[in-house]
Structure 1
């Protein structure tokens, strides 16, 4: 039986402002090259005119993506990077799946508009699930972000904590994680527990330095407005007027997760992130993250957001590598 394929079409789209068009297409057409890498079509350009050849759906998505990004330049954006094109493709594909339409990126209700506003810069959603996550962070006081590494969970959570602190909605930011690491025994490392775990908290320090600068971060640490500590340091405390982020939550035990969640005090927001498929606990231990997902999912005030490999915002090769590992049955 013959395999049905969508007929190829050829369409052109002109972008009136030549300067903006060149910025949109990128240096040596670097932005245009992202389109055929992620859609089944060919793209060429002649001056300020882009020419598309492929299926109707993919051509519509490509035109929609470029039109959306062109409009951001008209609205004042200074530059477009290949990662911006990839992000827009993700949103356009999601909109097509949800609505059956392809020209939705310019609609107010479907374009990637979820933002965390900081004094230095704004953090925008780069994937549809990041947009859902940011919306949950705005609306809920307890949020679980679940999915693979590289999807922006930690970075966005730190951004939300900084945003709440800068607006005066919380008095402190608290970041913690369990003292369990893949294949490593902390007892053999030099120093006290904080010195042992600080290297594993590097992603949180990196994000804070990015949002606040190194000097301000260190000042806030000295003032105890920022706390970065192992999860064990949370025991016996009530965490009020704080944004509390628990990272690598898949490595909490059932008792640790219950202890952590019960620390929540007045005026606090709790963000719990982890990857349920990367658990480093002993075989007979239950992951507190997986258990919380099962026990708390029907409580409407608790938000759960799931990420997948399509949300990986590191190098595009990372998503392919992670997907290949997941699909492998280790039959080598």
Structure 2
């Protein structure tokens, strides 16, 4: 009887191994298909300012595991980070792109219950990131990539206890995160992964000691940490409408 049970267990193990191998082949096949689908849409990270040039070099530098970019809106912080993540994915340097962003509205705007799964609930906050993805992938491909886990939306609140391996993590609008959330995020990094933290300390819904991005930048002001780089942007780096710089200056205290 024991021999029969052992045979059954071995047979199940073999079936499981075959199934895993088949799933792995399908995952690789899907990844190749997605990369082939955008073959004509080359990912070119083209700097339009000196600070963007420094930022791009840090994004592409595999020895920099955490890159922090802070500065005004329209300076390319998120756009270039997403481009670099897509480039890494297409070059098989990572298996997935993880998108996260604090679920905080503008100022004290209250958000009611949002229906749907976690992707649907986070859609209002991740929309700017997906706008960039749509430059390289169509809606159907993005949907499939979400299903396959090649793109993952992970709210900060759900990251505790996880480790992200072989991943590019784009953490956008992190001026709205607390210092504790920033610390937790950075300690989620696993092997062959990169975290890019972006935000504008002047456009924060959290102020003073509660502003995680400002707290992090202050900690790194007089301290150099191997594998971490901070990139600062200014008004002259703005690449959107020229009037944005004037608007920001108008509201500057």
TM over 0.5: yes
Identify unmatched segments of 5+ residues in structure 2: 1-37
Structure 2 Cα separation of the partners of residues 148 and 162 of structure 1: 23
Cα shift at 1:284: 7.1
- Give the TM-score of the pair, scaled to structure 2: 0.77
Q: Runs (4+) of structure 1 moved beyond 4 Å?
A: none
Secondary structure at 1:266 match in 2: coil
Structure 1 position 145 matched with structure 2 position 65: no
Structure 2 Cα separation of the partners of residues 190 and 288 of structure 1: 26
Taking CA–CA contacts closer than 8 Å with sequence separation of 6 or more, which of the two structures ends up with the larger relative contact order? 2
Counterpart contact for 2:47–2:53, Cα < 8 Å: yes
Tell me what 1:231 maps to. Answer: 156
Give the total of aligned pairs.
Answer: 208
- Give the TM-score of the pair, scaled to structure 1: 0.59
Deviations 1:57-77 (A, max 9, x none): xxxxxxxxxxxxxxxxxxxxx
Matches within 5 A, 1:61-80: none
Identify unmatched segments of 5+ residues in structure 1: 1-117
Cα shift at 1:250: 0.7
Tell me what 1:168 maps to. Answer: 92
Tell me what 1:219 maps to. Answer: 144
Cα shift at 1:314: 0.8
Residue 156 of structure 1, aligned match among 80, 83, 92: 80
Structure 2 Cα separation of the partners of residues 189 and 325 of structure 1: 32
Residue 244 of structure 2, aligned match among 318, 324, 332: 318
Cα shift at 1:214: 2.5
Tell me what 2:34 maps to. Answer: none
Residue 242 of structure 1, aligned match among 157, 167, 183: 167
Tell me what 1:302 maps to. Answer: 228
Deviations 1:112-139 (A, max 9, x none): xxxxxx8412231122211111011112
Deviations 1:19-43 (A, max 9, x none): xxxxxxxxxxxxxxxxxxxxxxxxx
Cα shift at 1:194: 4.4
Cα shift at 1:285: 5.1
Query: Greater CA radius of gyration, 1 or 2?
Result: 1
Secondary structure at 2:219 match in 1: helix
Deviations 1:192-211 (A, max 9, x none): 66434311211101000112
Deviations 1:48-99 (A, max 9, x none): xxxxxxxxxxxxxxxxxxxxxxxxxxxxxxxxxxxxxxxxxxxxxxxxxxxx
